[in-house]
Structure 1
Amino acid sequence: EIAKRIPLLAEASERELEAFEQFAVLKTFAAGEQLAFEGDSCPYFFVVLKGRMRVYKIGESGREITLYYVDPFESCVLTAFCILSQTPLPAYAVAEETLEMVVIPSGEFRKWIDRFPVWRDHTFNILSRRLGEIMATIEKVAFLRVDERVAVFLIQALPPSRDVLAITHDKLARELGTTRVGVSRVLEEFEKNGWVSLSRGKIHIRDRHALQQKAKNTLLM
């Protein structure tokens, strides 16, 4: 049963489980597959079971910025917003990895929000958590220099137990909503300072303390 794979349904009532089994459908998407475009309607709500989804915006210049990722047993806050407000999706979504998810028709999901506490609580949880992340992303883009944003990203992406991040300059630029040239210039400066070393598709942290100092005034944003 699909329900047994979803932790949030561990304490669901019999009525909640019956409704889930009746309407939930398992779907799989290939890595790199476009899942949604800005302006799309939202025909279903979903819970990711395996893989990762990237949710992002594209500016008028064509530059991308990552808003957040949706990982296993999570749902997309903007999809929930789209369904509940019955407005178009305000972002793009792509399968970052091979993606397996369970989908629920949006009409049924709206009913479940009213009837079933497990889905109401899940929705409020993702709303409260993700909206804070989105606001933090907007603040960083609006108020931080590129070098500060790169330092913050590296510190947050790599726990102290790791010192190598597999990421291209192009992908890092998309994460931060800036240009590849700008990211490369910053990383080259960091390398010159001895803070990082660069190899093809990888960034090696050499001086975590220096990066933390660069990021220290921004990590609380």
Structure 2
Amino acid sequence: MAILENPQDRRILEQSLFCQGLSASDLDLVIAQAHTQKLRKGAVLFHQADSASSTYIVLSGQLKLTQVTADGARTFLRLLGPGQLLALISALEISNYPATAKAERPSVVMGWEGKTLDQLFLEVPGLARNGLRILYGRLREMQERFGELAAERTERRLARALSKLALQVGRPGLNGAIVLELTLSREELAEMIGTTLFSVSRILNQWKKNGWVLLGRQSITLTEPDALGRIAEEDVG
């Protein structure tokens, strides 16, 4: 049974897409069937190809998902912050983890074993509906990413990637800025959008000159997020 050490954890669960709209009693049941796990920076929650035994939601910290392709190339997939779900595939009990999840900073996750989650889906139908919505969102995101690779210029792909990261792990800065505290390298950003390190560096440096971003050692501050938003959403006719 999970013990919520931080009172903020319940609020994070209530606001997460996975538990959104659940009654207090249903949320109590979901929490009661879970376990919590603390991860030090650099700890691996699970490895790619391990048996998919549990599904997790991030309570604090930040996890990075990476995948090694058949030809041995490592690809960055996504960052996950508080309230975000990973490895819902465990409820299917038919597969292995398709990626590796590593803590980028000290983190706490809440998890459910696959059989437990499958039973919760029967007892709390709203949880199952939320899970399907999340899976659909991830599928749509991958379809959009393939479309971007085929048809969109690199600058737009990078603007869209940073805008998504701002929603996932960004925090408010001064004067409307959004701070992305990232351990991602520029090479990993390039992997994320299917381009070269040179292209990412060139675009970021130009945006810095424009006053749209500030580049730190492990952070990117979007000083003009609206400017990047316009690039991300511009027509590509």
TM-score range, shorter chain: 0.7 to 0.9
Residue number in structure 2 paired with 1:51: 61
The share of aligned pairs that are identical, in percent, is 23
- SS in structure 2 at match of 1:152: helix
Letter of the structure 2 residue corresponding to residue 2 of structure 1:
I
SS at match of 2:85: coil
Matches within 5 A, 1:153-192: 153-154=161-162, 157=166, 161-162=176-177, 168-190=185-207
**Aligned to 2:105, what secondary structure does the other structure show?**
coil
- Gaps of at least 5 residues in structure 1 are none
Give the corresponding residue for 1:11. Answer: 23
C-alpha contact (below 8 Å) 1:42/1:89 kept by paired residues: yes
Q: Matched residue of 1:130: which SS?
A: helix
Note the C-alpha offset of 1:214.
4.3
What is the Cα deviation at residue 217 of structure 1? Answer: 3.2
1:173 partner letter:
A
1:169 CA drift (Å):
2.5
The answer for the alignment partner of 1:64 in structure 2 is 75
Q: Does 1:127 align with 2:135?
A: yes
The residue identity in structure 1 corresponding to 2:186 is: H
Larger radius of gyration: 1
Contact 1:151–1:214 (CA under 8 A) maintained in structure 2? yes
TM-score (normalizing by structure 1): 0.72
Kept after mapping to 1: 8 A contact 2:62/2:81: yes
Provide the residue aligned with 2:95 in structure 1.
87
Report if the CA contact (8 A) 2:177-2:221 is conserved: no
Does the CA-based 8 Å contact 2:53-2:90 persist in structure 1?
A: no
Query: What one-letter code is carried by the residue in structure 1 that aligns with 2:85?
Result: S
* Number of the residue aligned with 2:3: 2
| Structure 1 pair 117–163 and aligned structure 2 pair: CA distance change class (3 A) | closer
